[in-house]
Amino acid sequence: GYIGKGMLTGVVAGAVFTSPAVGSILAAIRAVTQAGAAGTLLIVKNYTGDRLNFGLALERAREEGVDVRMVMVGDDCAFAAPKKAGRRGLCGTILVHKVAGALAERGASLDEIVEKVSGAIKAMGKGVGTGDPGGTLCPVPCCPNPSWMATALGQSPARGSGQSHSSRLGGEWVGKRRRTWGDPKVGVSSCPIPPGASVVLVVNNLGGLSCLELGIVAGAAVRRLESRGVHIVRALVGSFMTALEMAGVSLTLMLVDEELVELLDAKTTAMAWPNLPTAPATAQREEIPAPQEGPKPTQQETSTGPGAARVELVLEKICRTLLDMEEELNELDRAAGDGDCGHTHARGARAIQEWVRSRPPPAAPVQLLSALADLLLDKMGGS
């Protein structure tokens, strides 16, 4: 999905959760070289197998006279201290793909691309939380309780840094990730984000979240960052780096300057890269006054006396009947619809009851039916 003009020239895929073989990597380097590339840049996520296999392929390619370089992406800042193997390469890799591809499309040299990409990698920090609240096809062994989610799990999924209740997927969990991003006590795995900084935010679906759940996390992330005075110049929300159907989400931040934003905004034909709006993301809303209602038709005075009392009794009996039949109507509607027929009629019945209690209903049929129609149009909804 990331192969295209302005992004990647090729990819090398291994088996699921497995590094590709050295021979496959070397074959890809040769194919790119024989197609006329001036040089080859290997963008590798920081995992032991990837480092070894891509490194061996690079050495063999250089023995054949190929100009090939390698950059290692390690954007994980979920742990309080870096492991011996360094920070894991996660979803921030897609931003590196985009920056490198845009530079190559501009005609930058391989040395220039490596320098700029290396700077972009240093400008990234990441907090990861993932879980299995729905019992998906990709269970998480280290978090068997379906009401809890594992945090800092990674793509594999490797064991994470802890667990959290799935009801905290929104604001509370995002707030914890946000503190990890900017906490100097976290050490080299942190990404310092001072107030006023400009960042690109990536909210990544690990494969099994619904659009609604992803939107909840994205909204919480934007609000939390804005509360610290961080300027979100671009926000990417979607499935960019998945782990089969893992029900989880990851958050990526990259500190950016104007040049990096231009590179991320540059056009590409890669189908997996979103068509981003070139505008900042914000949780602030511009409120406008509610439109004024037009002039209402003159209503006749409400009637009093036996006629009005009879209308009130009839309406009350109809409303009580509809309320008593709410579940029965829902059950009938489930056979052919969405099962809310009873709720819809009950909503209308309660509106009529409140209206009758607030004022005597008109006894004249024309005024009565007109008033009921206006009331239900305003209060009832549904079909």
Q: How far apart are CA 134 and CA 369, in angstroms?
A: 49
Are 93 and 78 in contact, with CB atoms under 8 Å apart? no
- Is 282 inside a domain boundary? no
pLDDT in tens, 39-77: 999 999 998 999 999 999 999 999 999 999 999 998 887
β pairing state of 162-165 and 40-45: unpaired
Beta partners for residue 199, in sequence order: 232, 255
Residues 181 and 318 in one domain: no
End-to-end CA distance of the chain: 42
Residues 259 and 351 in one domain: no
| CB neighbour list of residue 151: distance below 8 Å, 6 or more residues apart | 78, 128, 129, 130, 160, 161, 162, 163, 164, 173, 176
φ/ψ of 184, rounded to 5, equals -65, -20
Residue whose C-alpha is closest to residue 40's, from 4, 67, 60: 67
User: Please, is 324 exposed, middle or buried when counting C-beta atoms within 10 Å of its C-beta (0-12, 13-18, 19+)?
Assistant: exposed
- Is 279 inside a domain boundary? no
The sign of the CA dihedral 338, 342, 345, 350 is negative
- Is 297 inside a domain boundary? no
CA distances from 52 to 28, 42, 142, 300 (A): 16, 13, 27, 87
Domain end, chosen from 202, 235, 265, is at 265
pTM of the model: 0.72
Residue whose C-alpha is closest to residue 246's, from 148, 139, 142, 159: 139
- Is 168 inside a domain boundary? yes
Q: What is the pLDDT of residue 140?
A: 44
Beta partners for residue 40, in sequence order: 68
Those residues of the chain that have pLDDT short of 50 are: 126-148, 152, 160-162, 165-167, 178, 182, 184, 186-189
| Number of domains within the chain | 2
Residues 201 and 345 in one domain: no
331 secondary structure, DSSP code: H
Peptide bond into 133 cis (omega under 30): no
Domain end, chosen from 237, 265, 293, is at 265
Residue owning tokens 């009758």: 356
Are 58 and 68 in contact, with CB atoms under 8 Å apart? yes
Q: What is the pLDDT of residue 166?
A: 47
Domain end, chosen from 211, 234, 265, is at 265
Residues 109 and 244 in one domain: yes
- Is 152 inside a domain boundary? yes
Residues 227 and 92 in one domain: yes
Residues 144 and 261 in one domain: yes
Q: How far apart are CA 251 and CA 355, in angstroms?
A: 50
- Is 32 inside a domain boundary? no
- Is 26 inside a domain boundary? no
Cα R_g (the chain), whole angstroms: 30
Residue whose C-alpha is closest to residue 71's, from 11, 122, 15, 125: 122
Residues 240 and 331 in one domain: no
Helix axes 171-182, 211-227, angle to 10 degrees: 50
For residue 195, what are its two tokens? 């107030």
Q: How far apart are CA 30 and CA 18, in angstroms?
A: 22
For residue 214, what are its two tokens? 């992803």
Residues 317 and 216 in one domain: no
Residues 81 and 202 in one domain: yes
Q: How far apart are CA 287 and CA 218, in angstroms?
A: 21
- Is 237 inside a domain boundary? yes
Range of the domain at 240: 75-265
Beta partners for residue 246, in sequence order: 207
Length of the chain: 383
CB burial readout 329-365, b (16+ within 10 A) else e: bbeebeeeeeebbbbbbbbbbebbbebbeeeebbbee
Look up the CATH number of the domain holding residue 157. Answer: 3.30.1180.20
For residue 99, what are its two tokens? 């920056």
Residues 329 and 196 in one domain: no
Residues 89 and 224 in one domain: yes
Residues 95 and 211 in one domain: yes
